[in-house]
Amino acid sequence: MTGAGERPRVAILWQRLSGYTHAEFTALRDLGVDLQIFHQAAGPDAPFSDEATTAGLDAHAWSGAPDEDRVEAALAAREPHALLVSSWHITAYRRVARRRRGRTLRVLCMDNQWWATPKQWLGVASAPVLIRPTYDAAFLPGERSADFARRLGFSDGRIIDGINTCDQPRFDAVAVARGEALPERTFTFVGRLVRDKGIDVLAEGYRRYRQMTDDPWPLEIAGAGPEAAQLTGRPGVRMSGFVQPDDMPALLGRSGCLVLPSRFEPWALVIHEAAASGLPVVCTSVCGAASRLVLDGYNGAVIPPDDVDALARALLRVSTAGEADRRAMTEASRELARQFTPERWARHLLARVQEIREEIGLPAAPTPAAPTI
């Protein structure tokens, strides 16, 4: 039984925070959840402002490795009804989760897609020792990750779908502010400038695209990283550097299409942000979000990774589309983006927490003070 006036308590043991995690965690707080967060401080490859990503939240940053005693003391003081743990490679997080077996619902948060790599097979082999005694459920973005979670030993009833959402209302406001005007005639890349993002493919694909048309769109690059030299100084390319979450709506407001030629991309929240802003999206099939938010020929193009010519053709297709087709892609992107919102994310998570706690024999957690849908 729960006491009168008691609130549901959720503890989050995370890696680096960003704009989307702030939107999600704030939505939990706004539902009346007693929330505490431990997280890794921002790093040079993605220098998010910790002040912005933790505003209004009870958050505690660490560098190098979390202080296990500090985390343990904080959890012991409030004993959460649910513990959300980002991945399983952080030893301190695993240990405090394992000590709460039978006391709280321990949720492994993961976005890894199953690719049958040697490292993933090792994870499957070690799951009986490393994963199953430590976590009761898995929270993940979609079917590609669910395949991996099943191999780790989670049943369908212990899998919570929909871990990722951007601040959809905030980015939808970009499209509303645009009104009847079409998005700008500009391609935009957002992300770390590293090999996994296909920066070399982007550089060459964009070069070939410019040779295919007399009226090429410029390409804005929003990000930082060691591959920056591949794009710096190229015709039509503007290097804007790393963009903080508060500046992302303005960036997408001056964009016409998001381009993400990744080789490896478990999800890619920026796809949701772009779709909510009413932009077409060109991305590779490895992007997890492509399965839910990009339909080839409907609101953009989904291409194979490492295919320079396919990228060039997709850019040409978008930039030469007629006004009616561009408007249709805008509305299609906004429609697909409405699948996920922070409030829906928070309500769904709390509902599934209650269901799984009951299934494993834990007492019911308090319900949020705010009315549920």
Question: Could you tell me the mean pLDDT of each successive run of 10 residues in the chain, 373 residues long?
Answer: 71 94 96 96 78 92 95 96 95 97 97 93 95 97 94 97 96 96 96 97 98 98 96 97 93 97 96 98 96 96 98 98 97 97 97 96 83 42
Domain ranges of the chain: 9-165+341-359, 168-337
Residue 141: CA count within 13 A, CB half-sphere: 22
Contact 260, 116 (CB under 8 A): no
C-alpha 198/C-alpha 217 separation (Å) is 20
CATH 3.40.50.880 fits 9-165+341-359, yes or no: no
Contact 368, 29 (CB under 8 A): no
Tokens of 58: 């009870």
3-state SS, 358-370, equals HHCCCCCCCCCCC
Strand ranges (DSSP E) for the chain? 9-16, 34-40, 59-62, 82-86, 105-109, 137-140, 159-161, 187-190, 219-222, 237-239, 257-260, 281-284, 300-303
> Given this model, what pLDDT does residue 370 score?
52
Q: What is the CATH number of domain 168-337?
A: 3.40.50.2000
Q: Which amino acid is at 10?
A: V
Helix 323-337, helix 168-178: angle, nearest 10: 160
For residue 115, give every residue at least 6 positions away whose Cβ sits within 8 Å of its Cβ, in sequence order, or none: none
Widest CA span of the chain, in angstroms?
A: 70
Domains 9-165+341-359 and 168-337 share a fold: yes
C-alpha 287/C-alpha 272 separation (Å) is 11
> Given this model, what pLDDT does residue 1 score?
33
C-alpha 334/C-alpha 182 separation (Å) is 13
Torsion of the alpha carbons at 206, 208, 210 and 211, rounded to the nearest 10: 180
Strand ranges (DSSP E) for 5-96? 9-16, 34-40, 59-62, 82-86
Rg over CA atoms, the chain: 21
Per the DSSP assignment, residues forming a β-bridge with 86 are: 109
Q: Exposed, middle or buried: residue 3 (CB in 10 Å: 0-12, 13-18, 19+)? A: exposed
What is the DSSP-derived secondary structure letter of residue 227?
A: T
Residue 185: CA count within 13 A, CB half-sphere: 11
C-alpha 162/C-alpha 366 separation (Å) is 22
For residue 199, give every residue at least 6 positions away whose Cβ sits within 8 Å of its Cβ, in sequence order, or none: 193, 225, 227, 230, 231
> Given this model, what pLDDT does residue 97 score?
97
Task: Tell the residue number behind the tokens 């849908």, with chain if given.
Answer: 373
